[in-house]
Amino acid sequence: MMKHIQDTLTLHNGVDMPGLGLGVFKVEEGDTLVQAVKSAIAHGYRSIDTAAIYGNERSVGQAILEALQENELAREDLFITSKVWNADLGYESTLAAYEASLEKLGLDYLDLYLIHWPVQGKYNEAWRALETLYHEGRVKAIGVSNFQIHHLEDLISKAQIKPMVNQVEFHPRLTQKELLRYTKEQGIQLEAWSPLMQGELLDNPTLVDIAAKYGKSVAQIILRWDLQHGVITIPKSVKEQRIIENAALFDFELSTNDMAQIDGLNQDLRVGPDPDNFDF
C-alpha cells in the first residue's frame, strides 16, 4: 500500500517507478511549464511524464536541470518518461527519435521510453529499437502506451523483452478491467493517463458523496482509487495549489465498498482516441 508521495512500484526488470507523477500533456513550452515542473519536484514529486508530440521537452528539461540544483537532488532521484511519436515508428527512426528527445531534455538517459500509439505494421520495428536502447543501457525501462490486449499479445509474441509499462486512458468511466487483469498476469505495470477524465468527473454525484465522506476532493478520491488498483497515475496540472492537492493521497484509504462503487461508474467511455480506430 502506498504511504508516501515517493513510494514506488517495482517494474518486472527490477526498476522502481514512482506511483504518482506529473503529466504535461497540452502544456506549451515556456515559463508556466517550467514553474509547474519545478513546483512539483519541490513538493516531492519524482516522476515527470512528457512525449515528443507534446512539443515541450525543452522546457521540461530546463525545469529538471533547475530543480535538481535548487533541491540538491541527483539525476538518479528523478524518473523521466518520454514517448516516440507515430511518424517516427520504425527501427532507425525510433533510435533517432530517442536521441532527439534526449537532446531536447538535456539528459543522457531516460528512465522510461514508450511507444505512444499502436500503429499497425509499425510498432514491432519500433519495439526492436527500444530493445536495442535497453540492451545498450541507454534507457532504464521500456514500454508502450494505448495498447489493447491484442496489441500486447502480438508484440510479446515477436519481442525479446516484454514491455514493463502500458500507459492508457484509465478513469472511473473507463475502468479497463480486462486490460488491468491481463497486464497484472503478464507483469506489465498499468499507468493511467487522463485519470480525471480531463475534469469531466469532478462533479459526479457518486464521487462528490465519497469525497465528502473522507474530507477529500473528488480528484484526490480518483487518484487514490488508481493507486489502490495498483495503477500508476500522472495527473496534469500547472497550478501549484492543484499540484500539491493531487499529491495529498497518502493519509487515507478507500474502503472496499467505496472502491467497488467507483468501479461501478464504468461506461467504457473514452475522452481520447480509440486505440483500435485512430488515423494519426
Question: What backbone torsions phi and psi does residue 16 show, to the nearest 5 degrees?
Answer: -90, 130
Q: Give the pairing type, strands 110-115 and 79-84.
A: parallel
127, 155 Cβ separation under 8 angstroms: yes
Distance of alpha carbon 20 from alpha carbon 6, whole angstroms: 8
- Whole-number Å distance between alpha carbons of 143 and 72: 30
Active site residues: 54
**Cα–Cα distance between 177 and 135 in angstroms, integer?**
32
Cell of 151: 496489441
Angle, alpha carbons 76-3-77 (nearest 5°): 5
CA nearest neighbour of 22 among 223, 273, 253 = 223
